[in-house]
Amino acid sequence: MTRVAAIDCGTNSIRLLVADVTVHENGTRELRDVDRRMRIVRLGQGVDATGRLSEEALERTREALHEYDEVIRESGARSTRMVATSATRDAANREDFFGMVRETVGVDAEVITGEEEARLSFVGAVGDLDPAEGPFLVADVGGGSTELVLGTWDGRRAEILGSYSADIGCVRLTERCLPSDPAVPAEVKAARALSREILDEAFAAVDVSGARRLVGVAGTVTTLSALAQGLPEYDPAAIHLSRLSRRELDRLTEELLGMDHERRAALGPMHPGRVDVIGGGAVVVSVLAAELAERSGINEITVSEHDILDGIALSIS
């Protein structure tokens, strides 16, 4: 058994997993959570317009990493790996970010390739599912991008059949199309059209006709599951492996788009950092689900609390 620490830094949130990894004789690996945390830092706020990471966003991220560094040290984790995705890939001042990470947690943040991101996300997402239910399409709706990964899983290793990173996510879509609070019909129409246009490119690149199960991961999808279940507060145990039908998803999307900030913030499972972007995220998920249903006949989402963060932890051992 080895104790490891994984950090996933995305466009909207930064997350930490400290876990014990056990490698069994048959080659399978098992994760046991020691500490799992998430902070909304909005690292990618405004990047779409300016091409730079803002000083305020960098400072929010530094504060979160300082907290995580203390947790890692106290836990006794032997190895740490940090992966940085969408927001840092093209920022003009990306070296400011990398230097800050090195100074704060003592490791280099890796901006991984799309192929590596796809593999890590897939392994983390499907690890608790029955391999016989595949092939699986894993959809990771983030702040700045949405990753689609199609593959199979035999309980020990994954075979990736196709992947694509689409430039659409909850933060990016909100900033581009949904400035009003609540959103007005013309904005919603534009948001749906843009989501469909960009996701059509993803489905042209990944043949999903043979997919048998859609697995949704990351904060937008897990929050939608919590809201659909009417949970009084965010409950990972109730959310993990729950199922969300397209009908429930479409209803919930319309409700969220019709709410103002105050009403969304009052929803029990809603993290404060998602209040302003959950409507945009719901649009991306609902359009994705509709497009997939046309191509594969799948009409529900299996929601997983495990994702690229778990894949990063497994990759360390």
169 and 195 together in one domain: yes
Q: What is the pLDDT of residue 213?
A: 96
- pLDDT averaged over 10-residue windows placed end to end, the chain, 317 residues: 92 90 73 90 82 91 96 95 79 90 94 82 88 93 89 86 91 91 95 95 94 94 96 94 95 95 94 92 96 94 92 86
258 and 137 together in one domain: yes
Buried/exposed code over 181-206 (b: 16+ C-beta within 10 A; e: otherwise): ebbeeebbebbbebbeebbeebbeeb
Measured in whole angstroms, how far is the alpha carbon of residue 51 from the centre of its chain? 22
- Among 80, 111, 142, the domain boundary falls at 111
- Which two three-digit tokens encode residue 250? 């479409």
Residue 33 lies in a domain: yes
User: How far is it, in rounded angstroms, from Cα 168 to Cα 11?
Assistant: 11
- Which two three-digit tokens encode residue 283? 């649009």
Q: Can you state the percent helix, strand and coil of the chain, rounding each to 5?
A: 45, 25, 30
92 and 162 together in one domain: no
- Among 66, 83, 111, the domain boundary falls at 111
Half-sphere exposure of 77 (CA within 13 A, CB side): 28
35 and 161 together in one domain: no
**CB–CB of 59/69 below 8 Å?**
no
Find the CATH number of the domain harbouring 24. Answer: 3.30.420.40
**CB–CB of 227/269 below 8 Å?**
yes
100 is in which domain, residue-wise? 2-111
Q: What is the pLDDT of residues 14-65, one digit of tens each?
A: 999 999 988 776 666 778 899 999 998 988 887 778 889 889 999 999 999 9
Give the number of other CB atoms < 10 A from CB of residue 79. Answer: 15
Q: What is the pTM of this model?
A: 0.79
Q: What is the pLDDT of residue 117?
A: 81
Q: Name the residue with tokens 């246009």.
A: 197
Residue 121 lies in a domain: no
76 and 160 together in one domain: no
Give the number of other CB atoms < 10 A from CB of residue 296. Answer: 19
Residue 40 lies in a domain: yes
Q: What is the pLDDT of residues 150-171, one digit of tens each?
A: 999 887 788 999 999 898 899 8
Q: What is the pLDDT of residue 300?
A: 95
Find the CATH number of the domain harbouring 204. Answer: 3.30.420.150
Residue 310 lies in a domain: no
- Among 82, 111, 140, the domain boundary falls at 111
Residue 309 lies in a domain: no
**CB–CB of 287/250 below 8 Å?**
no
103 and 132 together in one domain: no
Domain total of the chain? 2
